[in-house]
Every structure is written in structure tokens, then in C-alpha cells.
Amino acid sequence: MEKEQLEHMRHSCAHLVAAAVQALYPTAKFGVGPAIENGFYYDIDFGESISENDLQKIEDKAKELGKKGLGYARTEMSVEEATKFFSERNQPFKVELLKDIKEKGSTKMDEQNTELSGVVGKVSIYQTGDFIDLCRGGHVENTKEIGPFKLTKIAGAYWRGKSENPQLTRVYGVCFATQADLDEYLHMMEEALKRDHRKIGQEQELFFFDEMVGKGLVMWLPNGTTIRNEIEKLAVEMERKGGYTRVRTPHLAKEEMFLTSGHLPYYKDSMYPPMVMDDGTYYLKAMNCPHHHTMYNFKKHSYRELPLRLAEYGECYRNELSGTLAGLLRVRAMAMNDAHIYCRKDQIKDEFKAVLELIMKYFKIFGLENYWFRLSKWSPSHLEKYINQPENWEYAEGMIREVLQEMNAPFVEAEDEAAFYGPKVDVMFKSVIGREETMSTVQLDFAAKQRFGLTYTDDTGADNNEVFVIHRAPLSTHERFMAFVIEHFGGKWPVWMAPTQVVLVPVTEKHAAGAKQIEQELFDLNIRVESDDANETLGNRVRKAVGRQVPYIVVVGDKELSGEDWMIRVRGEKDQIKMSKQQFIEKLQKEIKDRI
RNA sequence: GCCGUUGUAGCUCAGAUGGUAGAGCAUUUCCAUGGUAAGGAAAAGGUCUCGGGUUCAAUUCCCGACAACGGCUCCA
């Protein structure tokens, strides 16, 4: 089925469900009901509290109505007629949409890919059974054309996406052309859940949370820490090659610093509350920029020193709303793969490009492919949200677009999404459960130079305040990046990252000492190796190592200890490979060194 | 923060219309000395998330808190 037809079907299904809701809850007030990926939703004020137990009832009713073969009869009305019509039927949300259409010729909802569009002066109305809806359309002819569907969940959703508005109940459903498609989707979701970073994090003992520590605060276990450290080691290497220098700054600072940076008035709610000390009030840092800027000002800089690149895996603390916390994807304490690049305006382009190239280099090493760039721009119609330097905005956005095009990077542009201090490029990813998240970010900053008085001595010997700052976090935060790579690898870590790279399994007790000796030998070569001489059968010890997704397993018996070739069990391979001990060690070292 | 769901052993989960609970894995000990995905036995392990209420009696019913999960909003 064509994509458009599918969307029509899913949207028609939303109407059908709404019709069922109207039949069961006659006083329900309807919001909007668009098609979304894999299905649809409808926002409804039920007038009473609804729980997931009620979904089956609604689904049954919808299916019953669907079988009747109802049509989607279209009529047109003037905006005034429609307003009167929906007022009489006590549908305030529809009336509000009509008001917007009348005033603006369209509704803001259009931008959110919902159902309405303003055809000047006239609107279209669709009737399915007794349910009549204000709707732009795009429907199937008859409810019999709607494929198998299933109501999946309910959630609160603010009317028109604004938290000051009343909250409606959003009914989610999935809908497919055929039963086979629906089954496949449900199966895929099940499979995806197996790769969920929280599940693998538990299985492989990577991290955990504890109520006594606090929510959103990750406790990294030894295995998780090993992987984190490998990622950080990579970052240190790459940044060294990229001309960065590494620094270290405290996790907190005085109020004055965050007032200077301008963060405190704007982001106070997102910061942990203040700590009052004898010499002032302190805050945990929510970002590393102010510390780095202060470090820049440690001494005077010559134009010859620019670009100056200060890098740090900086620990930040953010008081994210409790409802938004999600495994490692959104936490309250995080280690950011941060760096700030201080440069002149004529250096911005090269620096920005170098950062984007660095990002792509990283992703290549990890084999990450499903990402896209998003250029977040200011909006000339919301000037109050952005620093008032129109010439810099125009210049920077044009320059960044050029860089993205030169690199052939897949990107979208988003108006009114920039930071207040400058445009940014985010790298977007989808998590295994289909949630879109920002991974990397590169941000240009026109504001820091004024706020922190950043200057350099130019070639005439004068103080120059035109210091531009690039904030960048290619590897996101350790927390979020770990979430992505866990799901990406599904827990099957490449050798260089694997918490345990080799497990040795001595056949019997009399081989244990020999295995220990090999373990020591590999250990001395910086290989993460374990020998498992537990009081269990050989088969069970192999099984346990396999279950842990260890890349290489070697059974150690008389043959191995007498210098014969080893049989090496490779993760995911049915057949073992045969090679000498020395060859195996060289193979391991190469794979670790080359990060393959 | 808001809406909804969930909370039983270290982990994954059973369980009873209200009479204080069980399995598998993991742990410990003993036996078995095994050549590539589960050898056998025993022991230990629980304030059934926490706090109130109803009741002769609450892990179970009600209320509240906390946490996790799915959304909304947010995401410097």
C-alpha cells in the first residue's frame, strides 16, 4: 500500500475510534486525531477518568461500527457555519481551531502534521455514522477498507502541546493494511525490547539506579565503566589529533559565574538548588561553558593561539523533570563529551567543518548509520528569544548550511530551534524503541565574548573582542551515548570495548594452574581476560561465557598447555577457529588497536 | 511537573474472593574431574516498595508517598 493511502487509512481509523468513543461517552469533547507512524491517535476530553482497561471496550465498539461499512461523507461549510455547528454540539476544541482558521487562515496545528488546513473561508466536515468531525480530509471511502488495528495505550497530552492548556486523554492505536503487517510490527517491537539498553544494562551488569542515591543518577558498575573508559580513551586520542587540549574543572561554581554566563535567570529551574556557603552561594554546573570561558581568561591570548580548543569530559547536573527521566537517555548527572573552541570569525567555518567531520569519523568507528543532521536556526519573528546580532545569525546559518552541503550530510532545517546565543547543528538518532533523540551537538555562540569579555590581541597589538565560541559534544554524554551503543550493538561489544575480551575455561582442576598462567600472560598484555575454574561442568562454564557475549572463549586442556594449536570459539560463529597461541594474541592486539 | 500503568527473593516471574508466600536462574556448601550452550544434592535468601486507613486479621481492599515504565511538556 502507498504511504499516502496508509496515512488515509490510519487517519480514517482515528475517526472510527472517535465515533466509538462518542457512542460510549456522549459528552466527550474531541481534539485532533492525526495519523502517525504505524498508526494514529486521538486527543479526547472524556469528561471522566479513563484507564487502559477501557480501551478494549472502545476497540470492540469501533470494530463493531467498522463492520457496518460506514462512509466518510464530506460537506463544506463556511467558517461561521462550522463554528455555530460545533458550538451547538459542545465541541470547544473544534471551535477553537475554527477561530484560528478564521484569524490566521490556518492553524498552528498544520505545522505539527495534524489534520486541519485552512482553505480560506471554507472548511470541510466529514461524517462517519453519527460522528461528525472538522477535518481537512484524506480518508478511505468506507470503514470496511480499514485494516486490522489495535488500541495500544493512553497518555495525557496537553491541548495544542502547551502545558498551560487543559490536558486531554490521548488514545494511541496501531493500524496496518494486513494482519501480517500488524503481526510483524508487534513482533518487531518485541525484538526491539530485547535490545533495550536498560535490559542489557541489567543483564550485563553495566549500570543500575538506586532510590537511595536518587533518580536519574547512574551507578556505573565495573563492566559499564570499562566501556565508558574505552569510549573516553577514544575521545582523548581523537581530540589530541584534532588539536584540542584537555582540562579539568570543578563540578560547581558560585552564583556569580552563572549570572555572568546568563544561565541562572533562564535555566534556574533546570539546575539543582543552590548551596549556601560562608563565602557565597554555589550551584552544581549544568553546563561546562562558564568554567571553560573563565579558563580562557586565565591569561591574555595572541591571535596566533587561536583557535584554542579546550576539551573535557565534564560532569554536569540538571534537574530534569522527573517524568522525563528515561534509563540512560535522560539523566540528572551526566559526563559530557564537551569542548569549547575559541576562534576568530574567519576561522569558524573550518572549525565547524572539522567538528562535523570528527562526528562522522566517530560514527564510522562505531558503525552508527541511522542518523541525520538538524540545523536549528533562529526566527526573525521571535527576536526576544535570540541575541540581537542579525548579521551574525545570517552569516553563521548560511555558512553552516554551506558546510553541510559540501559534506553531503543528510540534514533538515528547523526554524526557531536555535539556542539564544547562536545556531546549532544537532545529530539526531532514533532509539531502539523508536524515540527520536539528539546525540551530538555543535553550537555556535556569539554571546560568550560579551558576557565573559573574551578577547585576544590581534596582529596590530590591539585587544579584539571578536572571539567566537563553538560548543561541541560529538559523543553526547557518556550516559546517552552508552544507551545508543548498547542498543546498536545489542550487547555484542566489539573486542576493543568488550568488558571481558577472552574467557579461558580449564577442562579440569589439573588444568586450572595452566589457565591461570595464560591469564596472567594476557593480562600483562592489557587484555581483559578471565579464567573460569569454577566447580562446574565444562559445558556450563562455556555456556555462561557465551551468554555474556564474550568475544572469544578458549577451552584450556592438555593439548593447549602442551603447545598445540588452540581451538577458539568466536562469538556468533558456529565453527571454532584454529590458531597458535601467538597468532591469537596478535589477532587480539590488532583488533583492540584498530578498534574493529 | 501532568496523564496512564506497574512495584512479590540479587535477577526473571508465579500466587491467593483478606488468614504474613512459591518456582527457575544466581549465591553458599557437599558430591561429581567433566574437551565446547544447563551433572547431582542440600542450604540460605522476603517487613510481598514505604506510610496511613478499613478489618478479628492486609502483601491482597481504600487513601497517600516514593520509584520504574509509556506518553505530554521540557531538553542550555
At A435, give phi and psi (nearest 5°): -85, 135
pLDDT of residue A165: 87
Of the candidates A333, A403, A424, A365, the one whose C-alpha atom is nearest the C-alpha of residue A235 is: A365
A118 touches strand B (CB under 7 A): no
- Would you state the cell numbers that stand for residue A537, as one nine-digit string? 561442568
A270 touches strand B (CB under 7 A): yes
Closest nucleotide to A152, Cα to C1'? B70
Distance measured from the CA of protein residue A193 to the C1' of nucleotide B7, in angstroms: 20
- Would you state the cell numbers that stand for residue A449, as one nine-digit string? 565574548
Distance measured from the CA of protein residue A56 to the C1' of nucleotide B57, in angstroms: 37
Positions of chain B reached by protein Cβ under 7 A: 1-5, 11-12, 26-27, 30-39, 66-76
Tens digits of residue pLDDT in A42-82: 999 988 878 887 888 899 999 999 999 999 999 888 888 99
The A 126-145 residues near strand B by Cβ under 7 Å are none
Cross-strand bridge partners of residue A445 = A469
Say whether pLDDT at A500 is over 80.
yes
pLDDT of residue A154: 86
Tens digits of residue pLDDT in A182-224: 988 888 888 888 899 999 999 999 999 998 899 999 999 999 9
CA pseudo-torsion sign A362, A365, A369, A370: negative
- Would you state the cell numbers that stand for residue A344, as one nine-digit string? 576568530
Radius of gyration of chain A (CA): 29
Closest nucleotide to A508, Cα to C1'? B33
Residue nearest B1, CA–C1′ metric: A321
Banded model confidence at residue A265, pLDDT cuts 50, 70, 90: confident
Complete DSSP assignment for A471-539: EEETT-BHHHHHHHHHHHHTT---TTT-S--EEEEESSGGGHHHHHHHHHHHHHTT--EEE---SS-HH
Residues 6+ apart with CB under 8 A from A6: A35, A177
Tens digits of residue pLDDT in A310-356: 999 999 999 999 889 999 999 999 999 999 999 999 999 999 999 99
The A 411-430 residues near strand B by Cβ under 7 Å are 419
Distance measured from the CA of protein residue A487 to the C1' of nucleotide B47, in angstroms: 38
- Name the DSSP letter for residue A109: G
Q: Is A121 helix (H, G, I), strand (E, B) or coil?
A: coil
A323 touches strand B (CB under 7 A): yes
Distance measured from the CA of protein residue A157 to the C1' of nucleotide B1, in angstroms: 13
A535 touches strand B (CB under 7 A): yes
Say whether pLDDT at A484 is over 50.
yes
- Would you state the cell numbers that stand for residue A352, as one nine-digit string? 565547524
Domains of chain A: 3-183 (3.30.980.10), 199-489 (3.30.930.10), 502-594 (3.40.50.800)
Q: Is A549 helix (H, G, I), strand (E, B) or coil?
A: coil
- Percent of chain A at pLDDT above 70? 97
Q: Which residue has the higher pLDDT, A113 or A248?
A: A248
Distance measured from the CA of protein residue A55 to the C1' of nucleotide B14, in angstroms: 26
The A 560-589 residues near strand B by Cβ under 7 Å are 560, 567, 569, 576
A50 touches strand B (CB under 7 A): yes
A485 touches strand B (CB under 7 A): no
Question: Quick one: average pLDDT of A389-398?
Answer: 91
Number of Cβ atoms within 10 Å of the Cβ of A3: 7
A466 touches strand B (CB under 7 A): no
Closest nucleotide to A572, Cα to C1'? B37
Place of cell 589439573: A510
Check: CB of residue A409 under 8 Å from CB of residue A423.
no
Containing A582, the helix (H) or strand (E) segment is helix A581-594
Closest nucleotide to A576, Cα to C1'? B36
pLDDT of residue A10: 94
Of the candidates A428, A426, A430, A379, the one whose C-alpha atom is nearest the C-alpha of residue A400 is: A426
Distance of CA A367 to the CA centre of its chain: 17
Banded model confidence at residue A116, pLDDT cuts 50, 70, 90: very low
Cross-strand bridge partners of residue A40 = A35, A173
